[in-house]
Homo-oligomer: A and B are copies of this chain.
Amino acid sequence: MSVTLSIDAMGGDFGPKVTVPAALACLRKNPDLKLIMVGDEIVLNGLLADAKLTFKDRIAVHHASQVVEMDEAPQKALKNKKDSSMRVAINLVQQGLADACVSAGNTGALMATARFVLKMIPGIERPAIISTLPSLYGHTHMLDLGGNVDSSAEQLYQFAVMGEEVVKAVENIDKPKVALLNIGEEDMKGNVQVKAAAKLLENSSLNYIGYVEGNSINAGHIKVDLIVTDGFAGNIALKSIEGAAKMISVKLKDSFSQNILTKLVGLIAYPVLKSFKDSIDPRLYNGASFIGLRGLVIKSHGGADALAFETAIHLAEVEVRQAVIRKISEKIEKALEQKVSA
Bound CA–CA A71/B190 (angstroms): 16
The answer to whether B243 touches A245, judged by C-beta atoms less than 8 angstroms apart, is no
Query: At the interface, yes or no: A207 with Cβ under 8 Å from chain B?
Result: no
Q: Which of B136, B150, B215, B255 contacts A192 (CB 8 A)?
A: B150
Identical copies of this chain, number: 2
Query: At the interface, yes or no: A30 with Cβ under 8 Å from chain B?
Result: no
Chain A positions 176 through 193: 1 when the CB is less than 8 Å from some CB of chain B, otherwise 0: 000001011010101110
Query: At the interface, yes or no: A35 with Cβ under 8 Å from chain B?
Result: no
Within 8 A of B (CB), among A250-294: 250-252, 254-256, 258, 262, 265-266, 268-269, 271-273, 275-276, 279-280
| Nearest-Cβ distance from residue A67 to partner chain B, whole angstroms | 19
User: Which residues of B are found within 8 Å of A14, using beta-carbon distances?
Assistant: none
| Nearest-Cβ distance from residue A210 to partner chain B, whole angstroms | 14
The answer to whether B240 touches A214, judged by C-beta atoms less than 8 angstroms apart, is yes
Query: At the interface, yes or no: A239 with Cβ under 8 Å from chain B?
Result: yes
Within 8 A of B (CB), among A214-269: 214-220, 229, 231-233, 235-248, 250-252, 254-256, 258, 262, 265-266, 268-269
User: Which residues of B are found within 8 Å of A245, using beta-carbon distances?
Assistant: 244, 248
The answer to whether B268 touches A243, judged by C-beta atoms less than 8 angstroms apart, is no
User: Which residues of B are found within 8 Å of A217, using beta-carbon distances?
Assistant: 240, 243-244
The answer to whether B276 touches A236, judged by C-beta atoms less than 8 angstroms apart, is no
Query: At the interface, yes or no: A335 with Cβ under 8 Å from chain B?
Result: no
Bound CA–CA A134/B258 (angstroms): 20
User: Which residues of B are found within 8 Å of A183, using beta-carbon distances?
Assistant: 146, 149, 231-232, 235-236, 239
Q: Which of B149, B191, B231, B276 contacts A232 (CB 8 A)?
A: B191
Query: At the interface, yes or no: A213 with Cβ under 8 Å from chain B?
Result: yes
- Chain B residue at minimum C-beta to C-beta distance from A192: B150
The answer to whether A215 touches B242, judged by C-beta atoms less than 8 angstroms apart, is yes
User: Which residues of B are found within 8 Å of A244, using beta-carbon distances?
Assistant: 217-219, 240-241, 244-245, 248
The answer to whether B246 touches A219, judged by C-beta atoms less than 8 angstroms apart, is yes
